[in-house]
Amino acid sequence: MITAMRRLALIVMAWFIVAGCAQAGGTCQGKFPNPITDICWSCAFPLTIGGIRLFSMDQEDTSNPGGPICACSDPPKIGVSTGFWEPVRQVDVTRTPWCLVSLDGLQMNPGFDAPAGTVGVQDDTTKYSFYQVHWYTNPLLYWLEVLLDNSCLEKGQFDIAYLTEIDPLWDDDELNLIINPDAFLFGNPIAQAACAADCVAATAGFSTNTLYWCAGCQGSLYPLNGHVQAHVGGVQASSLLAQRMTAKMHREMLIWAASGDAGQCGYYPQPLMDKTNYKYQMLYPVPQTEKINGKCCQPFGRTTAIWGAGKQIPYIGEDFAYLIFRKRNCCAGAIGF
């Protein structure tokens, strides 16, 4: 407990240092998230141990391994099956290239330009948009040591892991086909109409992986780039791009899965993202900590119509930041042999 409090104190100190030192430039706006007041901590639940749900907090969950005892071979160990939702990644969705929303609106200047974000109107009067996205590693539970033992938590530190400004695939539909050739299969009205069923599923619970090209109520998960062809609003479009970026990281093997029986003993590659393994919450411009129906985060694909109301603010709140929770199953409290 003392160690956890020390780590929490260090994080709070770092928050004040970054908040005091980072200067917003131009239209770049943002905020470094406060780990105490800006995080929807109930999203880490339910917590299951040995197949028994100990803490639910009235949160959604996916299935967990049934048996209470688990065993791993590399390294050899025996333990107890556990399940929880781990905050592991953070995402900026911004109109301003090189604007680090999650770092208090720090404007980088690498010396070369990148495509700027835009929201426009198409010939049929519907809107389209383009945003840049930044991907951070942020294993909060490992920093704080507040849940289970360290062997079940992703280790690391808060860091910038990916910037789409330097990714030529992010702004080019044709180049994007290198990693996303299956986008050809679903760029038709019939495939897109099927996403309505995914919207219904995500609003009632979790998206369905059968419709893996859909992002629930946010629209089409494909192509895996920054162009949103059906822009309804900033919250909807940024939520879609947070999901696309997660799927893109899976496709490029830059994030692995950690759930189910296969995740008990470690992480495993999953090039086709399992949408039911993720929940997310807004961090900026309005930290999503106020509960609606007992929840302050949501699975991928759930409609933004309710929780997203009032979350986009002209000028100071048209860029966004999100915290992503990933489902984790683990063989905890292990005894080596």
Residues 244-283 pLDDT 10s: 999 999 999 999 999 999 999 999 999 999 999 999 999 9
CA–CA gap between residue 8 and residue 35 (Å, rounded): 8
* Torsion angle defined by CA atoms of residues 244, 246, 251 and 256, in that order, rounded to the nearest 10 degrees: -170
Domain count, the chain: 1
| Cβ 328 vs Cβ 264: under 8 Å | no
Average pLDDT, integer, range 17-23: 40
Which band of pLDDT confidence, cut at 50, 70 and 90, is reported for residue 33?
A: very high
In which domain, by residue range, is 223 found? 2-336
Q: Is pLDDT above 60 for 214?
A: yes
Tokens 């003993």 locate to 265
The neighbouring-strand residues paired with 48 are 53, 83
- Among residues 135, 176, 168, 197, the alpha carbon closest in space to that of 321 is found at 135
Three-state secondary structure call for residue 235? helix
The mean-pLDDT minimum among 13-17, 157-161, 227-231 falls in 13-17
CA–CA gap between residue 302 and residue 323 (Å, rounded): 15
Three-state secondary structure call for residue 133? strand
C-alpha distances out from residue 309 to 125, 208, 303, Å: 23, 25, 11
Strand order across the 127-130 sheet: 118-121, 127-130, 227-231
Per-residue model confidence (pLDDT) at position 255: 97
Tens digits of residue pLDDT in 54-67: 889 999 999 999 88
Average pLDDT, integer, range 77-94: 95
Tens digits of residue pLDDT in 151-210: 889 998 899 999 999 999 999 999 999 999 999 999 899 999 999 999 999 999 999 999
